[in-house]
Amino acid sequence: MSHLLIDAGQIWLLNLAIVLPAYVALAVGVWLLLWVLLRRALQRRKIREATPPARQLRSEFLYSLRSVVIFATSSVGVALLARAGAYPLADRAAGWGPAWFWASLGLMILGQDAYIYWLHRWMHRSRWYRRLHRRHHFSHNPSPFSGYSFDLAEAFLMTAPFAYLWPAIVPTPWAVSLLFMGHQIVRNTLLHCGYELTPARADGRPWFDWLTTSTHHDLHHGHAGYNFAAWFTWWDRWMGTEHPEYYARYARAAGVAAASPVEQPA
Ligand SMILES: [Zn+2]
Ligand SMILES: [Zn+2]
C-alpha cells in the first residue's frame, strides 16, 4: 500500500512537472505575443473593443492552473490502472503502425468534440449550472487565460471520460493520448485568445469553415445560448445553435469587411 502511495505521488509530481510549465508557457506566451508584443499589429483582428481588466486575467489564470492540476491528478489514476493491466487495447495499439496512430487521434478528437458539445448544452440547461459551468462564464470577454477557468466539477467532467474510459474502449496508443491532450490545450487557449487569427476567404468566411474560430467561441461567451461547439462547427449547424451573426462577426474580426467597431455582445 505504501509503495502504491509513493508511486502515485511520484507519478503526480512528474505529471505536474511536465503539464504545469507547459500550460503556463503556452498561456503566458500567447498573452505576451498577442496582447503585448503584437498588440498594435493585430489591432484590426481584435474581436472586442474592450480589454478585460488585469484582475480578471489573474483570477482566470489561477482557476486554469487549478484545472491543469486536476488533469495531472487524473492521469495518476490512469497510470496506476495501466500498470494493473486495465488498458490492454492501448498497449496493443502501440504496434499498429502510423495509419492507425493518426486515425485513432482523429477519432479521439471527433469523439471529444461530440462529447463536449452535448455536455456543454446539458451544463447550460442543468439545475447544477451554477456549480458546473458558471465560473467559465464569469469571463464575459475572454482572454488567453480563460480556457480552463472552470469549476471543479467541470474540470473533472471534461477530463475523466477521455482519460479513463476512451483508452479502455478504443485501441489508442498512449502517445496519441498525449497528442490529444496537447491539441486540446492549444486549441482551447487559442479559442479564448481575444484575436481572430485564422485566414479568411474573400467572401468573409473562414478558409476552414468546419473548424471553430476564436470569434465562434467568443460569441458563446457573449451570447450563451449559441455556439456550444469545441473544435468543429458541424454540431452547432446540425442542431441550429450557431449564432446567426457568426459570419458577419467573423468577417469584421478577420478584417475582411469594412473595419467598424465590433458591437459589444449583450
Ligand atoms: Zn470558453
Ligand atoms: Zn458555456
Angstrom CA distances, 241 to 42, 117, 123, 147, 203, stand at 29, 10, 15, 21, 22
Residue 117's contacts (CB-CB under 8 Å, 6 or more residues apart) are 228, 229, 230, 235, 236, 239
The pLDDT of residue 145 is 97
The pLDDT of residue 260 is 47
- CA 74-10-189 angle, to 5 degrees, is 45
Distance CA 117, CA 230 (A): 7
Residue 12's contacts (CB-CB under 8 Å, 6 or more residues apart) are 72, 73, 76
Cell reading at 17: 512537472
Distance CA 175, CA 195 (A): 31
The pLDDT tens digits of the residues spanning 41-99 come to 999 999 999 999 999 999 999 999 999 999 888 888 888 888 888 899 998 998 899 99
The pLDDT of residue 80 is 86
The pLDDT tens digits of the residues spanning 127-166 come to 999 999 999 999 999 999 999 999 999 999 998 899 999 9
Helices of type H across 126-213: 129-132, 134-137, 152-160, 166-169, 174-191
Centre of ligand 2 from the C-alpha of residue 114, in Å: 15
The upper half-sphere exposure of residue 39, i.e. CA atoms within 13 Å in the direction of its Cβ, equals 7
Residue type, position 147, single letter: G
Helix (H, G, I), strand (E, B) or coil at 195: strand
Phi, psi of 242 (to 5 degrees): -80, 140
Centre of ligand 2 from the C-alpha of residue 137, in Å: 6
Centre of ligand 1 from the C-alpha of residue 248, in Å: 20
Centre of ligand 1 from the C-alpha of residue 14, in Å: 28
Centre of ligand 1 from the C-alpha of residue 84, in Å: 36
Centre of ligand 1 from the C-alpha of residue 53, in Å: 17
Centre of ligand 1 from the C-alpha of residue 125, in Å: 16
Centre of ligand 2 from the C-alpha of residue 167, in Å: 27
Give yes or no for a contact between 116 and 180, defined as CB atoms under 8 angstroms apart.
no
Q: What does 56-74 look like in DSSP terms, one character per residue? A: HHHHHHHHHHHHHHHHHHH
The upper half-sphere exposure of residue 235, i.e. CA atoms within 13 Å in the direction of its Cβ, equals 21
Centre of ligand 2 from the C-alpha of residue 221, in Å: 7
Of all residues in the chain, the percent with pLDDT exceeding 70 is 96
The pLDDT tens digits of the residues spanning 202-226 come to 999 999 999 999 999 999 999 999 9
Distance CA 196, CA 161 (A): 31
